[in-house]
Structure 1
Amino acid sequence: MAIFSGKKASDFSIDPFTDLLFNGLLTFTFLLLIALLLLNPPAKSGIIDPKAEFMITASWPDNDPNDIDTWVEGPGNKTVWFKHTQDGLMHLDRDDRGLANDMQLIDGREVINPLNQEIVTIRGRPAGEFTVNIHYYRSTNGREVPVTVYLAEVNPKLKVLHYATTTLRREGEEKTAVRFTILPNGKVSEVNTLQRSLVKGGKL
């Protein structure tokens, strides 16, 4: 028979507040460990360098086989496109060719990446005008393609400057999706869609 030195059994009951506090501490510790693991994730291919001031994405419907190209011209006639992926502070981080090269081998199985998207980053604020054009480089089915262009200022906080969809109707067609100017003080002005050709042989 157990002896409790004269103390009552109720003296050994657990205080509900203490139990709640202990459980809260365990939860906080678990979440802290998860956060520490996420701070240093394993390296992955295709990750965009976050050190950008502006990001431009051009996307068209998933699984669409047609090849759409993005051209961006900045101050001093600096231009990026699929054959010239870096010029000054502009970088073509992702060149998408429709379904071409979208096949990946994963665990011995062929998997198709359905996403059609090109990404251009501007890693600074050079003063001058920027022109963003989309070009229907090659068609495999002869169909028109709706292309959505998204322009965002990402530093110091995300600000959407332009978001619109433009339809390219035939191979070789080129359209200006958006133009904007960075002022000497770093601010953006004069966002518009005035048409201007960048692609030799393009049709505006």
Structure 2
Amino acid sequence: MHALDDSEDDAADTVFRDTIMLALAGFVTVVIIMLAHIRPEAQASATAEAATMPGNVMIEAHWAGDLDTDVDLWVQGPGDVPVGYSNKGGGLFNLLRDDLGKQMDLSGQNYEVSYTRGLLPGEYTVNLHLYRNRSTLQSVPVKVVASVKKDANEVSRQILVSDTQLDREGQEKTVFRFRLDDEGGLVQDSVTTLFRSLRSGTKT
């Protein structure tokens, strides 16, 4: 009697194990099939999208996201008016983002971006203005990047990068002035930090 019960228990255990193994094998099979259908270019396309930002000349200003600091990016292209927070669009440049620091911002990032509609030869000026500093830092470090691309299908290329400091509220500083040639290339020996006010050309 006991031998029969043990045999039935062994059979039940075998059926249970087989069921578990079949379920596990089915799960693994589903995962393998799903992996085969996940496109590896999805991540590449996200990277490409980041590299194909709007515009031909792009100027970015980044500062630490934990700072309650309002830094304004001011830019001016050849034949254009100064573009910044109080004049967000010109004939060439547009300000894409006006960052107020932590005010009305849930992103945890501090940055401003301006870009051009078109690629014109001539001089470009890039300024920073420390509008307000509520942080404990006396000097605010800001990274500024200038990138260029000739057309929508081209990946933008960085032509200038600068790490600079803003030391007091109200300070306006020229990060760089540079010239582009007819092909969108950086003109040799054209880069300078000679100050040229852009805010004074507006009503602010």
Q: Closer, same or farther in 2 for the Cα pair 1:35/1:172, shift >3 Å? A: same
Given that 2:51 and 2:156 are in contact with CA atoms closer than 8 Å, whether structure 1 keeps it comes out as no
Q: CA deviation at 1:76?
A: 1.8
Query: Kindly, what percent of the aligned residue pairs are identical?
Result: 34
* 1:146 paired residue number: 141
Please identify the structure whose Cα radius of gyration is greater: 2
User: How many correspondences in the alignment?
Assistant: 162
Match of 1:79, SS? Answer: coil
Return closer, same or farther for 1:63/1:127 CA change in 2, 3 Å cut-off. Answer: same
1:29/1:116 CA distance change after superposition, 3 Å: same
Counterpart of 1:187 in structure 2 is 185
TM-score of the aligned structures, taking structure 2 as reference length: 0.68
CA contact (8 A) 2:60 2:113 kept: yes
Aligned partner of 1:175 among 151, 165, 173 = 173
Match of 1:117 in 2: 111
Question: Structure 1 residues 179, 26: CA separation in 2 closer, same or farther (over 3 Å shift)?
Answer: same
Q: Which runs of 5+ in 1 are unaligned?
A: 1-24, 42-46, 103-111
Work out the CA distance in 2 between the residues paired with 1:158 and 1:171: 33
- TM superposition shift of 1:35: 5.9
Q: Secondary structure at the match of 1:200?
A: helix
Moved more, 163-172 or 151-160: 151-160
- List per-residue Cα deviations over 1:157-182 (Å, max 9, x = no partner): 33221111111110011111111112
1:31 aligned onto 2:31: no
Question: Which of 90, 95, 98 does residue 92 from structure 1 map onto?
Answer: 95
- On the 8 A contact 1:48/1:93 being kept in 2, the answer is no
Normalising by structure 1, what TM-score?
A: 0.68
Q: Which has the higher helix share?
A: 2
RMSD: 3.2
Would the alpha carbon gap of residues 57 and 85 (structure 1) be closer, same or farther in structure 2, given more than 3 Å must change? Answer: same
